Each structure stands twice: as structure tokens, then as C-alpha cells.
Structure 1
Amino acid sequence: MNKAQLKEFLDEKVILYNNPDFIESDPIQIPHLFTLKEDIEIAGFLVATIAWGNRKSIINNGHRLMDIMGNSPYDFIMNLNEDDSEKLDGFVHRTFNSDDLFYFLKSLQNIYNNHGGLERVFAKYSEEDSVQTAIHQFKKVFFELPHLPRTQKHVSDPLKNSAAKRINMFLRWMVRKDNAGVDFGIWNSISPSQLSCPLDVHSGNVARKLKLLKRKQNDAKALAELDTSLRKLDPNDPVKYDFALFGLGVFEQF
């Protein structure tokens, strides 16, 4: 396929998968339970954090997380105290356990109390053409409170060569203006053109087959290469192609 044919092919796949039916089988359904901006971004951040492994398990544990917080994540976090740690006992998703969760909730409370909220932290450090440095700086802010060393592994760092798939996915949800009703587009201080595609095994394999990506590892260098390719196809909304790459990989075994 030449560039024009590839763009037409991928644009058709975006239309096919970027629609409300996608929500039913995707972790993005968890933040879609809410209407308050802070509820949406907190639910989105937490479910994106556990978004690895079996999708059904991710969704089930996402609902469990919301139940623990009385289905009012922002209110729960802002009123969080040490006694609430007992409510989290027994929560586990793969290697993310109740100790990690309690720190995440405390750190989110700190971010809303002392840093103006999640959007402001990411926007403060975003560069004109990238949010990868912002993710690195966000991790520093996120772990400024005393914490167990083990908990740090649950927030990726692109400057340590991670593709940071889960945070890039979360940022897509929050930033991308989506007329189809899947992504929220509730953060106006970051542009969709700055975003990077959530790179995982499915999107990476499809990208390589379509010659959008040559690098074999799914790391920060691969992400930069994929960004370059996707921005040539649509400089204003490159991460819309996440729907095409993911859909081709997961639903069509492309």
C-alpha cells in the first residue's frame, strides 16, 4: 500500500472501531459511569493503571474499585484518611495490591489538594509536540509522598525507555476530542496533536505489518518512531489510529 491507500484503509478502521459499541468491551467503560470531570479522570487513571492482562479481569476489577469508593471516586479521595485503608484490604490486580492502591489514592488526594489536579500537572510539563516528558515529571510529583519502593513500578517513565502504554491510553481518553463518544476530550490544556499512541503487543505487531514501525521492541524509541508515522497520516489527531491498530490486532487477528 502507498501512503494514500494506507491512510484510507486505516481511516476506515477508525470509523469501524471508534464508536460507542467499542465501550462495551473496553476498560474505558469505567470512567463512562461518571459525569463529573474529577470522577471521570480519577476513574480513568485508576483503571488505566490496572489495564494489563485479561480485559475481562481489568473491567471486573475496575468496577470493584469504583464500588470500594462508593461510586464517588473524587469525594472518596478528598475525604480519604488512614482508617480507609481497611476498605481496600484484599484488592489485588496481578501485582497491584491494596498497599499500592492506598498510596495511589493518597497521592491523588495530594495532587488535587496541592497541585491543582491531574490535568494541571500534565499540562504544566507538556512540550509543544509531546507529552512524554510530562509523564516523566508527573511520576516525580506522584511519588513525592513517602511510599513503598514497590509501588513505583506501577507508573511508567518514558525517559527510562518505557512506551508507557497505560498512561498514554489514559491521556488519549482525557484529551482526544471524539465526536463518536468514546474518548472524553475533557482536558483542554493539552492538544490531541501532542499525544502518543498507546503501544502494546497488538498495536505494535499491526504497525510493523503495515510498515509504520520497524523497531522490534515496544519501548519509548518504538513509540517515537510510531508517532512520526501516525502524525504523517493525521498531524492533528494521530492517536485516533490506536482504534485501527488495536481493532485490527485484537478483533481481526490481522
Structure 2
Amino acid sequence: MNKSELKEFLDEKVVLYNNPNFIETDPIQIPHKFSLKEDIEIAGFLVATIAWGNRKSIINNGNKLMGLMGNSPYDFVMDFSEKNSGILSNFVHRTFNAADLIYFIKALQNIYQNHGGLEKVFANHTNEDSLQTAIHHFKKIFFELPHLSRSEKHISDPLKNSAAKRINMFLRWMVRNDAKGVDFGLWQSISPSQLSCPLDVHSGNVARKLKLLIRKQNDAKALAELDLSLRKFDARDPVKYDFALFGLGAFERF
């Protein structure tokens, strides 16, 4: 396929997968249970944090986590103290355990109380081309409280050559307004043009087969290469092609 044929092919796949039916089998269904901005942000962030492994397990544990938080994640975060940490003591998703979760709740509380909320932390450190530096600064702020070093592995740092798939997915959810009811478009202070594709095994493999990506590792350098390719197709909304790449890999075994 030449460039125009490839763009047409991918645009068709975006239409196929970027619609409400996608929500039914995706972790994004968890934040879709809420209407308050802060509830959506916190639910989305926590679910994105545990979004690795079996999708059914991610969704089940995401629902379990929301239940532990009384299905009011913002109120739970803002009212949280050590005396009610026992509520979370049995939560675990793969290597993300209760100790990690308790710190994450404290860190979110700190961000909303002292830094103006999640959107402001990311928006304060953006540049024109990318949000990868903003992710780096977000991680520094997130871990400014006393914490176990083990918890840091659950937030990736693009400046240490990570593709930061889960944070980029969360940012897609918050920033991109697809008018289809999938991504939320809650954060007006950040442009969809700054987003990066959540690079995982599915999107990476398909991108390589389509010659959109040459680098073999799914790391920050590969993400920059894929970003460049996708921006040539749509500079204003490049990560809409995440739906195409992921759908082709996960659902069509392309």
C-alpha cells in the first residue's frame, strides 16, 4: 500500500473500532460509570495503572477497586486517612498490591489538595510536540511524599526510555474528544495533537507490519518513531489510529 492507501485503510479501521461498542470489552468502561470530572479522572488513572495482563482481569479488578472506594473515587481520595486504609488491605492486581494502592490514594489526595488536580499537573509541563516530558514531571510530583521504592515501577518515565503505554492511554482517555462517546475529552488545556499512541504488543506488531515502525523494542524511541508516522496521517488527532492498530492486532490478529 502507498501512503494514501494506508491512510484510507487505517481511517476505515478507526471508524470500525472507535465507537461505543469498543467500551464493552475495554478497561475504559470503568471511568465511564461516572459523570463527575474528578471521579472520571481518578477512576481512569487507577484503572490505567493496573491495565496490563488479561483484559477481563483488569476490568474485574477495576470494578472491585471502585467498590472498595464506595463507587465515589474522588470523595474516597479526599477523605482518605490511615484509619480507613484497611479497606484496601486485600487488593492486588498482579504486582500492584495494597501497599502500592494506599500510596497511590495518598499521592492523588496530595495532587488534588496541593497541585490543583491531575489535569493541571500535566498541563503545567507540556510542550508543543509531546506530553512525554509532562509525564516525567508528573511522576516526580506523584512520588514527592514518603513512599516505598517498589511503588515507583507502576508509573513509567519516558525520559528513562519507557514507552509509558498506560499513562499515554490514560491521557488519550482524558484529552481526546472523539465525538463517539469513547474517549472523554475532559481536559481542554491539552491538545490531542500532543498525545502519543499507547504502544503495546498489539499496536507495535501491527505498526511494524505496516512499516509505520522499524524499531523492534517497544520503548520511548519506538514511540517517537510511531508518533512521527501517525502525525503524517493526522497531525491534529494522531492517536485516533490507536483504535486501528490495537483493533487490527487484538481483534483481527492482523
Shorter-chain TM-score bucket reads over 0.9
Partner of 1:189: 189
Partner of 1:129: 129
1:75 equivalent to 2:69? Answer no
String of CA shifts for 1:21-80, please: whole Å, max 9, x gaps. Answer: 000000000000000000000000000000000000000000001000000000000000
Partner of 1:7: 7
SS of 2:107's equivalent? helix
Distance 1:40 1:85 in 2: 22
Partner of 1:149: 149
Partner of 2:115: 115
Distance 1:42 1:149 in 2: 22
Partner of 1:46: 46
Distance 1:191 1:91 in 2: 35
Partner of 2:198: 198
The Cα shift of 1:177 comes to: 1.1
- Structure 1 runs (4+) greater than 2 angstroms displaced: none
Q: In structure 1, what residue type is equivalent to 2:97?
A: N
Partner of 2:104: 104
Partner of 1:243: 243
Distance 1:3 1:153 in 2: 38
Distance 2:221 2:241 in 1: 18
Q: In structure 1, what residue type is equivalent to 2:205?
A: N
The Cα shift of 1:183 comes to: 0.1
Distance 1:151 1:89 in 2: 15
Partner of 1:37: 37
Distance 2:201 2:21 in 1: 23
SS of 1:125's equivalent? coil
Q: In structure 1, what residue type is equivalent to 2:243?
A: F
Partner of 2:66: 66
Distance 1:198 1:35 in 2: 24
Q: In structure 1, what residue type is equivalent to 2:73?
A: P
The Cα shift of 1:114 comes to: 0.1
Distance 1:6 1:110 in 2: 45
The Cα shift of 1:178 comes to: 1.0
The Cα shift of 1:242 comes to: 0.2
Partner of 1:214: 214
Distance 2:84 2:31 in 1: 22
Distance 1:177 1:53 in 2: 27
Structure 1 residues 78-87 or 217-226, which shifts more?
Answer: 78-87
String of CA shifts for 1:187-243, please: whole Å, max 9, x gaps. Answer: 000000000000000000000000000000000000000000000000000000000
Distance 2:194 2:150 in 1: 30
Partner of 2:139: 139
**Structure 2, unaligned stretches of length 5 or more?**
none
The Cα shift of 1:4 comes to: 0.4
Distance 2:85 2:137 in 1: 27
TM-score by length of 2: 1.00
The Cα shift of 1:85 comes to: 1.1
Distance 1:61 1:177 in 2: 26
Partner of 2:166: 166
Distance 1:84 1:116 in 2: 24
String of CA shifts for 1:130-186, please: whole Å, max 9, x gaps. Answer: 000000000000000000000000000000000000000000000001111100000
